[in-house]
Every structure is written in structure tokens, then in C-alpha cells.
Structure 1
Amino acid sequence: MNVYDYVIIGAGIIGLTIALELKKREPGSSVCVLEKEADVAAHASGRNSGVLHAGFYYSANSLKARFTKEGNQAMRAYCLKHGLRLNECGKLVVAKDLTELAGLEELKRRAEINGVELVWMDEDEIAAIDPNARTFRKALYSPTTASVDPVEVCQMLKHDNMAKGVAFHFYTQYRKHRGDLVFTNNGTYKCKYLINAAGLYADRIAHDYGFGREYTIIPFKGMYLKYTKNKTDVRTNIYPVPNLGNPFLGVHYTKTVDGSIKLGPTAIPAFWRENYSGFHGFSLKEFIQIAGYEAKLFITNSFHFRRLALEEMRKYIKTYFIRLGRSMVHRIDPQGFGHYLRPGIRAQLLHKASMELVQDFVIEGDHRSMHVLNAVSPAFTCSMPFAVYVVDHIMEQRGGALS
């Protein structure tokens, strides 16, 4: 039997940073990470945009607002310390008409409350940043937005953890638990404390421990188109004014860590948790459950899901997808877009009673286990301070149980 002080399920960015924080607090503790895939960052953590967000999208009372600014700084510092690639390309948020200027004003207000640098720019100033960016009258510029390679970061975190004594067990999938025993397809693990950072399956594991019963995860597929013509037609990240009523930021241009350009992502409702392409990862049980919730969302039109779903499905049409991107720039070659990049799936938490998508991070736990239920974007940016927050809660729960 494998015996550890802490067992973490999931080797994505959240599991990796929590492991590192646990070893920082308790260097003598034994920590292991269980991962059902062959390596770290096989799902959302290795398939996201790689953008380090600045922290101006989120309302001041949210955990996202609290952690994004600090997380941006922490991840930058980590990349510089370990010689990882970092593209400090910034971001422009552009408006298409008069009605969207009010959206820019709201973002600026949130930035000021959150203490995040966000600068008004007129058309001449915008041209100095990116002459191809197109806006109505003015735009907002975020100088601290940057890009990294998410897989490269997660690999460094794995090696960093291993150097500190964290054990990794790959091809190891959670099956069930009984007391302090965790049963997997690859043996039984005994632990004093379990941390569930399982992403797309976090709700299932939480339910097994008696937590998160009012929630379920609804998967949304994100796809990007790569611009293969050159790396120069877009110089910075260019984003539209988002609909702040849902957690998606809309189709935008991303400058990757190597300076490449990609357009996306989609937020297409998926029908099972690992619905990447074809019937990959198909589960009839998941399909029935998730399709049932999505049908209910469509009928009730909660948070305008009907419009969102129909709009997102249209993005499977490549010409339509590209047309959305053309509205944010003066010139782009429609023939310059190549293939779709590897899709990612967002593990989006749904509150079953209200039928609303949960916008902020959610954790639940007690003196035996802690469950990260909603680590959605910008979780990659927030991961380091968020890990501190999670471990604070773990120590508080364990301390309360011992006192």
C-alpha cells in the first residue's frame, strides 16, 4: 500500500501549484500526485491560451480579482527565475461601436478598483502599439498582459515538485474511496488528507466525498485557428469588449509565446467531458447527463444559453469564425488562417438549482479532504496565489480538527 500525508488528484496547474505550496509549508510531509494521463497538463492546463491575464475583468469582491494581479506577477517571476519563455506583448481591448464604449468604461472602473494598470488610448496611441488594431474612437491597453507556454510551465512545476520530494503516479485513475483509503486502477493509496484538483471530473470526486452536491460540471469546447501567413499582421493580444454576464471573453487574437498569432476561442457546449474530437472519450452516461442539463438550459434560456449555444455552433463554420476576427483589425488575410489547434475543454461549474454558470472559484472541504470545484479561466494565471488560498483552508480545517 502507498501511504502519504497528502494525496492530490490531478496534475494540472492547480494540482501542481498546490503540491508545491504544501511542500513549502511542510517540507517534511509526504505528498503524491495521482494523474490518469501519461504526464502533467494533458487537459485544460496544457490546452489553454497561455495568456497571463492582468485582472481587470473581474468584480472587486471576487476571488478572481483577488488572485489575478498577484498571480500574473508570481507567474512572470517564476518564468524569469527558471528561464522559461515569456512574451510581454500586452493587450488591447477594442470597441466596435458607441454602445461598447460603456463596456470599456466598466472595465476601466474595475481595473482601478482592483489596482490593475489599464490605460486609455486614442487611435494614434493604438497605432503605436499595433497599427492593425481597429476600434471605435478609443481602446484600453493592458501593459502587464503576457503570454507563456503552459505546457513548458507545467513541466517545470513537475520537475520543481519532484526535486522537493513530491511523487507522481501517472496512468492512475481515481475509482472510489473508503475512509482514508483511495482506490485507483493502479493500487490503493492511504492518506491523511486528500486534495481533489481533477478538473473535468472534480465534481464527481467531490460528490463521492459528500461535497458539491448542488453543482455539476458542464463542458465547453474551446478551439483556436492558427494564422499561418506570418507573425507580424497582429502585434499584440486584441480582445473585444466582453459580455460580463457570462464567463467567456469572446473571440480574440492571441500572441503566443513564440510570437505566432491565433484566433479564438470558441465556447461550444460539449456533450461529454472529454469531447475533443469525434467519439474520443465518449461516455454514454456522461452524454445523457450533460445533454439533459444542456437541453434544460436551452429550454429555460438561463443566462441566454440559447443564444450562446446557437452563436457558438456557428463558429464551426470557418468563414464565419474568421469574419468575427476581421472586425477587430483593419486588415487580415482570410486565406492566411491554417488549421484548428488542439482543442481544450473548460470544466465550467453549473449550479443545478438556479441553472446559472458559476463565475468564481469554488472550493469545499473538511478536515479530511478539499475539493477544487470551479478552477476556470483565469485559473492558470491565478494558480500560485490560489494554491496559497487552498492550502490556507486545508491548514485551517486540519487545525480545527486537531484542536
Structure 2
Amino acid sequence: MKYYDYLIVGGGIIGLAIARELKTRFPDRTVCIIEKEADVAYHSSGRNSGVLHAGFYYTADSLKARFTRDGNKALTEYCKEHNLPINHCGKLVVATNETELAGLEELKRRAELNGVDLRWMDETEIAGIDPNAKTYKKALYSPATSSVNPVMVCQTIKEEIKQMGVDLYFNTEFKKKQTNLVLTNNSSLQYGYLINAAGLYADKIAKDFNFGKQYTIIPFKGIYLKYDKNKDDIVTNIYPVPNLENPFLGVHFTKTVDGTIKIGPTAIPALWRENYNGFKNFKLGEFFNILFFEVKLFIHNAFQFRRLALEEMKKYRKSHFTELAMNLVKKLDQKNFGEFLKPGIRAQLLNKDTLELVQDFVIEGDRESLHILNAVSPGFTCSLPFATYIVDEMLKKQEGFGE
């Protein structure tokens, strides 16, 4: 039976980044990752927009404000060092009416508190960045926002940590904890310390260690539509003013790393954790558990869930979906949006007691294990500094072990 000093559950960007941080700090200690899929980045890490966010949406007292700002710089530098493609396309946040100008003011205030470069633009200046962007009076411009290929980034980190001596076990699913032993579908592994970075299933694994009892994951499906006509019709990312009361940013234009234009995402409440297409990966127990909480949210209308759910369901209708995006631009051929792209699922943590969608990172643990219950969006952007934070927190919980 193999023993590892550190065993990480989950081969997404967070698990990979933590393994990298551990081997950088402790090169002589043994590290492994177990991943239930055949390779890394099968779920959120490989199905996200690829946008490296700048960090101006979040309140200054939040972990994700700091990690997004620092993560943008760290991943940008990582891509440069490893010759990975990056599209420095920036981002415009535009308003559609007088009321939304107040939302822009709040974003600008948060940017200043977070130390993020976010610039006011009048209509003339906006035209110089993206002639097709439409706004009411003024907009905000983020020069640090860019786009990368998330799968390529994850594959590069995977190869890097393999060279550092990290063992990766694919098609290996966490089944059960037994003292300092993890039982999987393939074998058993002993560990000194376990880090749970299992994304959509992090809460379930945490409960096996008696953590995360007041939380559950509610999945939301994110779908994009590709614009098929002309890559030059949109130059930068164009976002609406978001509703800051919930964690979703609204339908927007994304410029991918290769310059492709897409709109999205949706935030449609899903009915099981890997509810990507049809009934694939359907699990009856998950269905009833998630449906129970979604009905509860609908009845209590927590964070206006009722309106959110109804509005999001409308986005399955392609004409409605594209109309929302058309509010952000002056002119675009609406007929040239193609099919829905590969969907992603956001693992959104719900506090079962307060019916609150938790909007910041949540970790729990002790001397033997640490559980990342809410690797909240934009977790991809945050991954490298967040991994540093996780290892720091692990050492604190071990009462100075390894220092």
C-alpha cells in the first residue's frame, strides 16, 4: 500500500496548483493527486470561459478580491514563461441606462479599494477600444483582463508537476475514508495529510471527514453560444453591469484566446451535479437532494431565486439569449450565432441554514485534512495565489508542522 505525505482529491486547476505549491515548498515530500476522470480539467477547470479576471467585482474584505487580482498577474506571468497563448483583449463594462451608472460607480470604488486598474471611458474613448460596444454615457475599461486556453494551462501544470515528482492517479474515484487511508475504486492509499479539491463533490467528501455539515452544492449550468460570422466584429470582452447580490455576471461577450466571439453564460439551475447533456451522469439521489433545495429556494425566494430561475430558463430559447447580448453592442448579425457550445457546471455552495449562496472561498479542516468547499468563480484566475493560501492554512492547522 502506497503512502504519500500529501494526497489531493481532484485534478482541476485548484488541485494541480496545490500540488505544484507543495512540491515547490517541500521537494522531498511525496504528493499525489487522485482524479476520477481520465485526465485533468474534465469539469469546471476545462469548461470555463478562459477569462483571466482583474478583480474589481468583489468587496475588498473578500478572499477572492485579493486572489483574483494577484492570480491575474500570476497566471499571466505563468503563460508568458511557458509560451502559452494569451489574448490581452481587455474588458469593457457598459451601462444600458441611468440607473446602471450607479452600478459602474460601485465597481470603480471596489477596484480602487482592491488596487485594480479600472478606467472610466467616455463614448469617444470606448469607440477607440471597440467601435461596436454600446453604452449609456460612459463605461469602465479593464486593461488587465485577458483570455487563455484553460485546458492548455491545466495540461502544462500537469506536466510540470509530473516532472517535480507528483504522482497522478486517473480513473481513480474517492470512495471512503478509513483513518489515514483513502479507499478508491482501484486501490487504497495512505496519507499524512489530505486536501479535498473535488469541486462538484467537495461537500460530499468533506462530510466523510465531519466537515461542511451546514453546506451543500447547488449546480448551475453555464452555456455559451458561438458567433460564427466575423472574429473582428467584437474586439474586447463586453460585460453588462452585474447584479452584485448574486454571484453571476450576466450574459456578455467573450473574446477567446484565438479571437473567437461567444456570448454567455447562462446560470440555469441544474438537477444533478454533472447535468451537462441529456440524462448522462444522472444520479437519482443527487436529483432528489438538489431538487429539494431548489424548490425550497423557489418557495422562500432567497436572493430572488424565483426570478433568477425563471429568467435563466428562458435562455434555453436561442432568440431570447441572443437578444440579451445585443443590448451591449451597436450592430451585429443576430442570425450568425451558431449552436450552443460545450456546457459547464458551476459548483455553487449553499448554506442550508440561511439559504444563502456563499460568494467567497470556504475552507474547513484540521490537523489531518483540509476541505475546499467553495472554490468560487473566478477560481481559475485565483488558482495560483489560492494554492499558496491553502498550503499556509494547512501548516497553521498542523500547528507549525513543516516550518
| TM-score, reference length from structure 2 | 0.99
Give the C-alpha shift of residue 396 in structure 1. Answer: 1.2
Match of 2:174 in 1: 174
Letter in 1 for 2:206: A
Match of 2:150 in 1: 150
1:280 aligns with 2:280: yes
Partner Cα separation in structure 1 for residue 281 and residue 402 of structure 2: 42
1:134 aligns with 2:134: yes
Number of residue equivalences = 403
Please, which moves more after superposition, 333-342 or 244-253?
333-342
Give the C-alpha shift of residue 402 in structure 1. Answer: 9.2
Match of 2:250 in 1: 250
1:109 aligns with 2:120: no
Letter in 2 for 1:208: D
Give the C-alpha shift of residue 334 in structure 1. Answer: 1.1
Partner Cα separation in structure 2 for residue 176 and residue 144 of structure 1: 43
Deviation per CA, 1:189-234: give whole Å up to 9, x if none: 0000000000000000001100010100000000000001110110
Match of 2:30 in 1: 30
Q: Is the 8 A contact 1:253 1:263 kept in 2?
A: yes
Match of 2:208 in 1: 208
Q: Is the 8 A contact 2:274 2:282 kept in 1?
A: yes
Partner Cα separation in structure 1 for residue 325 and residue 11 of structure 2: 33
Q: How does 1:203-352 map to 2 (within 5 A)?
A: 203-352=203-352
Letter in 2 for 1:178: Q
Q: Is the 8 A contact 1:32 1:168 kept in 2?
A: yes
Match of 2:390 in 1: 390
Match of 1:10 in 2: 10
Partner Cα separation in structure 2 for residue 394 and residue 26 of structure 1: 13
Q: Secondary structure at the match of 1:329?
A: coil
Match of 1:21 in 2: 21
Match of 1:47 in 2: 47
Partner Cα separation in structure 1 for residue 123 and residue 301 of structure 2: 38
Q: Secondary structure at the match of 2:231?
A: coil
Partner Cα separation in structure 2 for residue 340 and residue 39 of structure 1: 24
Letter in 1 for 2:58: Y
Give the C-alpha shift of residue 399 in structure 1. Answer: 2.8
Gaps of 5+ in 2: none
Partner Cα separation in structure 2 for residue 102 and residue 340 of structure 1: 33
Q: Secondary structure at the match of 1:192?
A: strand
Deviation per CA, 1:361-402: give whole Å up to 9, x if none: 001100100000000211100100000000001111123579
Q: Secondary structure at the match of 1:83?
A: coil
Q: Is the 8 A contact 1:370 1:394 kept in 2?
A: yes
Match of 1:79 in 2: 79
**RMSD of aligned C-alpha atoms?**
0.9
Q: Is the 8 A contact 2:8 2:19 kept in 1?
A: yes
Q: Is the 8 A contact 2:395 2:402 kept in 1?
A: no
Q: Structure 1 runs of 4+ off > 2 angstroms? A: 399-403
Match of 1:380 in 2: 380
Q: Secondary structure at the match of 1:232?
A: helix
Gaps of 5+ in 1: none
Deviation per CA, 1:118-166: give whole Å up to 9, x if none: 0000000000000000000000000000000000000000001000000
Match of 1:162 in 2: 162
Partner Cα separation in structure 2 for residue 402 and residue 332 of structure 1: 57
Letter in 2 for 1:120: W
Partner Cα separation in structure 2 for residue 249 and residue 71 of structure 1: 19
Q: Is the 8 A contact 1:364 1:372 kept in 2?
A: yes
Letter in 2 for 1:82: H
Q: Is the 8 A contact 2:59 2:65 kept in 1?
A: yes
Q: Is the 8 A contact 1:367 1:400 kept in 2?
A: no
Partner Cα separation in structure 2 for residue 35 and residue 339 of structure 1: 30
Letter in 1 for 2:241: V
Partner Cα separation in structure 1 for residue 354 and residue 395 of structure 2: 32
Letter in 2 for 1:60: A
Partner Cα separation in structure 2 for residue 114 and residue 304 of structure 1: 28
Summarize the Cα distance change of 1:402–1:8 in structure 2 as closer, same or farther, 3 Å threshold.
Answer: closer
Q: Secondary structure at the match of 2:277?
A: coil
Partner Cα separation in structure 1 for residue 401 and residue 139 of structure 2: 52
Q: Is the 8 A contact 1:367 1:401 kept in 2?
A: no
Match of 1:89 in 2: 89
Q: Is the 8 A contact 1:104 1:139 kept in 2?
A: yes
Letter in 1 for 2:103: G
Summarize the Cα distance change of 1:401–1:90 in structure 2 as closer, same or farther, 3 Å threshold.
Answer: closer
Partner Cα separation in structure 1 for residue 230 and residue 339 of structure 2: 14
Please, which moves more after superposition, 393-402 or 311-320?
393-402
Letter in 2 for 1:234: I
Letter in 1 for 2:96: K
Deviation per CA, 1:243-288: give whole Å up to 9, x if none: 0000000000000000000000000000000000100110000000
Identity %: 65
Partner Cα separation in structure 1 for residue 204 and residue 36 of structure 2: 15
Q: Secondary structure at the match of 1:349?
A: strand
Q: Is the 8 A contact 2:68 2:382 kept in 1?
A: yes
Letter in 2 for 1:311: E
Partner Cα separation in structure 2 for residue 74 and residue 267 of structure 1: 28
Partner Cα separation in structure 1 for residue 296 and residue 60 of structure 2: 31
Q: Is the 8 A contact 2:395 2:401 kept in 1?
A: no
Partner Cα separation in structure 1 for residue 397 and residue 186 of structure 2: 29
